[in-house]
Amino acid sequence: MRRVLDLTRLMDAVIFNFLVGNNDAHGKDFFAALSQRGHGEPGDALAPLYDVVSTRYYPELARELA
């Protein structure tokens, strides 16, 4: 179930980056944070958004998506 929620969050993040005009979003901006769950179980989750900037308003930057 966690992976389904993370996939939904990933799609939301991609759509959000598109809507705000962040043409610099790339794979390194989306990653899974590895952690330990209770009782020593490994766990993973999509990390929070970061490096979100609206590049659309800077004409000197490339218009193509990363």
Considering the candidates 6, 12, 24, 44, report the single residue annotated as catalytic: 24
The reply to whether 24 belongs to the active site is yes
CA–CA–CA angle 31, 33, 39 (5° rounding):
155
Phi, psi for 34 (deg, rounded to 5): -90, 140
Active site residues: 24
